Amino acid sequence: MNKRVDVALSKEARWPEEMAELRKIALSSGLTEELKWGQPCYTLNGKNVFLLHGFKEYFAILFLKAAIMKDPEKLLIQQTANVQSGRQIRFKNMAELKKLKPVVKRYIAEAIAVEESGAKVPVKKAADFEIPDEVLKAMKKISGLTPAFKKLTPGRQRGYVLHFMGAKQEVTRVSRVEKAAPKIFEGKGLTD
Band of residue 134 on the pLDDT scale cut at 50, 70, 90: confident
* pLDDT beyond 70 at 32: yes
How confident is the model at residue 127, as a pLDDT? 67
- Cα–Cα distances (Å) from 167 to 136, 161, 162, 176, 189, in that order, read 15, 11, 9, 8, 18
pLDDT single digits (tens) 105-123: 999 999 999 999 998 888 7
* Residue 190 within any structural domain of the chain: no
Domain boundary residue, one of 117, 142, 167: 117
My answer on whether 132 and 113 are in the same domain is no
My answer on whether 102 and 179 are in the same domain is no
pTM here is 0.71
My answer on whether 38 and 96 are in the same domain is yes
Number of domains in the chain: 2
> pLDDT above 70 covers what percent of the chain?
97
How confident is the model at residue 105, as a pLDDT? 96
My answer on whether 112 and 163 are in the same domain is no
How confident is the model at residue 161, as a pLDDT? 86
* pLDDT beyond 90 at 102: yes
How confident is the model at residue 20, as a pLDDT? 93
**3-state secondary structure string, the chain?**
CCHHHHHHHHCCCCCHHHHHHHHHHHHCCCCEEEEECCEEEEEECCEEEEEEEECCCCEEEEECCHHHCCCCCCCCECCCCCCCCCEEEEECCHHHHHHHHHHHHHHHHHHHHHHHHCCCCCCCCHHHCCCCHHHHHHHHHCCCHHHHHHHCCHHHHHHHHHHHHCCCCHHHHHHHHHHHHHHHHCCCCCCC
* Residue 30 within any structural domain of the chain: yes
How confident is the model at residue 158, as a pLDDT? 82
Domain boundary residue, one of 117, 145, 168: 117
* Residue 111 within any structural domain of the chain: yes
Domain boundary residue, one of 81, 97, 117: 117
Domain with 131, as residue range(s), is 126-185
* Residue 57 within any structural domain of the chain: yes
* Residue 162 within any structural domain of the chain: yes
Separation CA 77–CA 52 (nearest Å): 14
